[in-house]
Structure formats: structure tokens, C-alpha cells
Amino acid sequence: MTDDRRTTDDHGHDVIHPLHVAIVTVSTSRAAEVDPDDPGGDTIQECFEDEGHEVVERVLVRDDYAAIRTAVRGLVARRDVDVVLTTGGTGVTADDVSPEATSSLFERELPGFGELFRSLSWDEVGTRAMSSRATAGIAVDTPVFCLPGSTNACRTACEKLIVPEAPHLAGLATSHRAGTTEQTLADYDDE
């Protein structure tokens, strides 16, 4: 990341703006289609672009632990990606494994995201909010957010929580390397 996007906020904390965003859509049925419709991914992209950020990568994977983990791991290793969002696979069916696949990469969890998201979801879907396993954390100095697949959930999470806070989170997560040489995934490899 170049330092020309790094600034500070009113409290002197590092902020990155505009963000370079990667989106991973998790859906076995969509991954099997030739020209898949991706309303969750489209909603996330719209929310970020409306605030001047740039989506630099979109990936579509099936509901599979290894496929999700591999996609997210590859994205957080890239220095041109500031934040990664997944959409889909956060429910309670047997193939909903996005939280497990991504959290296995987290160096630090952000439990407040899931708590706040479910609280906001309560207003929209009532008790069904408890079935969402939306989560977030930091992996290789990159904020990663796991969202449900519904457009309403993606819009709520992005507009009310992620887009306003992600520039700050990305700045804080990378502040230790500001002005240093690029680091590689091997510097962080946990395997």
C-alpha cells in the first residue's frame, strides 16, 4: 500500500482512504452457474463505491471450507487489498462454514462486529437474528468481515458498520508497517 492513501483522523489514528476492497461470494449454486447473479456481492460493492472506495477483486467460491479459506488467505496476502468481505455461508446449515474458514486465519477477532450486527438485525428480522454467525477479525493485517448472503444483511452491515469504520480499522491494523518495506505472507504464515 502506498502512503498517499494513509492519513489521520481527528484523534490522530491512522486511516486509509480510499480503501481497496475484495469481495468473496460463497455459494455452491452460484459457483455452478455460467453467468451467476450475485446480489450480495453487488450490494457490498455498491456500498463501498458510493463512499469513494474501490473494489479491486471479486471471487466466487462454493460452500467449502478449503475453497473459502484459500480465497480469503490469498486476498489478505495481497498488499493491494485493504479489507476483505465474504457474503454467504454464515447460517446454521451443514455447509455454512464461512465463519470457521475465515476465523482460522484471524490473528485477532473483532467480536464487537458480530454483536452489533445481530443487534441491528434484530430490528429487521427479530429473533432470526440469532441464527446469523456473522463475524470479523484481522488476518495478515487486513480486516476481514463475514456477512450473510442476503442483500438486506449486506446493506445493513456495510452502511451502518463496516464502511464507516473500515478505513480506521485498516489504518490501525497496518500502522506498524507504515513507511516500512513490503512484507510477505511468509512473514505471517501460521502453517
pLDDT of 162-180, one tens digit each? 999 999 999 999 988 776 4
- Beta strands 20-26 and 83-87 are parallel
pLDDT band at 188 (very low <50, low <70, confident <90, very high): very low
Contacts for 23 with CB less than 8 Å, ≥ 6 apart: 41, 44, 45, 55, 57, 58, 59, 84, 85, 86, 87
Q: How far apart are CA 67 and CA 15, in angstroms?
A: 31
Provide mean pLDDT across the span 134-155: 97
Q: What is the pLDDT of residue 179?
A: 62
Provide mean pLDDT across the span 17-34: 89
DSSP state of 87: E
The C-alpha cell 476492497 sits at 21
pLDDT band at 34 (very low <50, low <70, confident <90, very high): low
Q: What is the pLDDT of residue 92?
A: 94
pLDDT band at 183 (very low <50, low <70, confident <90, very high): very low
> Which has the closest alpha carbon to 24: 125, 105, 93, 92?
105
pLDDT band at 28 (very low <50, low <70, confident <90, very high): confident
Using CA of residue 171, residue 176, residue 178, residue 180, what is the dihedral sign?
negative
Provide mean pLDDT across the span 66-93: 97
Q: How far apart are CA 191 and CA 189, in angstroms?
A: 6
Residue 190 pLDDT greater than 80, yes or no: no
| Whether the Cβ atoms of residue 1 and residue 81 lie closer than 8 Å to each other | no
Chain centre to alpha carbon of residue 160:
14
Q: How far apart are CA 142 and CA 54, in angstroms?
A: 16
Residue 182 pLDDT greater than 50, yes or no: no
Residue 185 pLDDT greater than 50, yes or no: no
Higher pLDDT, 14 or 46: 46
Provide mean pLDDT across the span 21-49: 90
Q: How far apart are CA 1 and CA 171, in angstroms?
A: 11
Across the chain, what does the average pLDDT equal?
90
| Whether the Cβ atoms of residue 134 and residue 158 lie closer than 8 Å to each other | no
- Residue 18: is the preceding peptide bond cis (ω within 30°)? yes
How deeply is 142 buried, as exposed, middle or buried, from its count of CB atoms within 10 A (0-12, 13-18, 19+)? Answer: buried
Question: What domains does the chain contain, in order, with CATH numbers?
Answer: 17-175 (3.40.980.10)
Higher pLDDT, 43 or 12: 43
